[in-house]
Amino acid sequence: MTDPSLSGAHVLVTGGAGFLGSALCETLLAGGARVTCVDDESTGTVANLASAVADPGLRVVVTDVADLDLATARGDHGRVDVVLHLAATASPVHYLRMPEHTLRSGSAGTLRALEVAAADDARFVLASTSEVYGDAEVSPQPEAYWGNVNPIGPRAVYDESKRFSEAAAFAFRRSRGVDVGVVRIFNTYGPRMGLDDGRVVPTFLAQAWRGEPLTVQGDGAQTRSFCYVDDTVRALVAMATADEPGPVNVGNPHELTMLELAERVLSVTGSRSEIVHVDLPQDDPARRCPDISRARETLGWKPEVDLEDGLARTATWVRDQISVPVPPRG
């Protein structure tokens, strides 16, 4: 998967050593961009970029984006043409463990990334999240919906950090003319996700391969809409080259319950694991499904990888990480 539309451009990717960020960096490099990856490795790892480290177009800066200065952002690549701000603590396990760090990334980190974009007259793309909608009272969620977020609950450190990030982006657009674009990402999944980060796809897959019970939270009737990583990367690149401020929803509008997802995981792995129910976390959204009309109209984007294919690719990667044999079928 390559995209030549940013060939020759200097693209700064914050959070570039994470699951999504590393896939984005690889795509940008394949398309001829010069890439500066900024990551503090609090949740990501530079090892995710192993296939790209020999590329002369890649620079890796290990630092907190909130501490990034303009000279370091430019480095040998010079002025920055595009800032893709992905740095965030998206995993429930991690943001509950690091609440202050999560808030700092979304506030001071976003302001610093915006300062870099303003200084170099660069396009600024914010990877926001469907979590800004909270426990949505409408479904599917359109961008015009303002959300239903508990600002003091345990999830708020992530939800509100992204809401602040969006507000900051549009403040810089109004006050300083920064060319911003905001995408709201819905449940991206794929290889390189942390197996212990609490997100449901890698959790279910790891449990299935190990023969452990699949732990469905609550009654399992809550829904999510899963978008494969390659599709999300295409949307981010499209936003980087578009004349569109957003916000724009990026996700797969195919909605399914957590019980249905568990059954799909059992099918794709051939596992005989049982399904058990555990307590539902506080403020867990009942429904999550994107209205992607705006993405289709403004970015010419829609997801292309169906869930069966995406789960199969991810399942193979998870199996390799935990080194278990393929179970016999039948």
The amino acid at residue 53 is: V
Length of the chain: 330
Q: Where are the beta strands (DSSP E) in 192-274?
A: 214-217, 223-225, 227-228, 248-250, 255-257
| Catalytic-role residue among 95, 133, 158, 189 | 158
> Tokens 């051939």 identify what position?
270
Query: What are the distances in angstroms from CA 296 to CA 23, 49, 185?
Result: 22, 30, 14
Tokens linked to 270? 């051939």
Query: What are the distances in angstroms from CA 176 to CA 114, 122, 249?
Result: 10, 12, 25
Range 215-230 burial, b when 16+ CB lie within 10 A, else e: bbeeebebbbbbbbbb
Our answer to whether residue 189 is catalytic in this structure is no
> Tokens 């995981």 identify what position?
265
Residue 194 and residue 134: Cα distance in Å, rounded?
A: 23
Residue 235 and residue 185: Cα distance in Å, rounded?
A: 10
Residue 111 and residue 172: Cα distance in Å, rounded?
A: 9
Query: What are the distances in angstroms from CA 207 to CA 92, 200, 211, 261?
Result: 18, 10, 6, 13
Query: What are the distances in angstroms from CA 272 to CA 108, 216, 328?
Result: 47, 15, 10
Residue 24 and residue 22: Cα distance in Å, rounded?
A: 5
Find, among 241, 225, 254, the residue nearest to 300 by Cα: 241
Residues marked as catalytic: 158
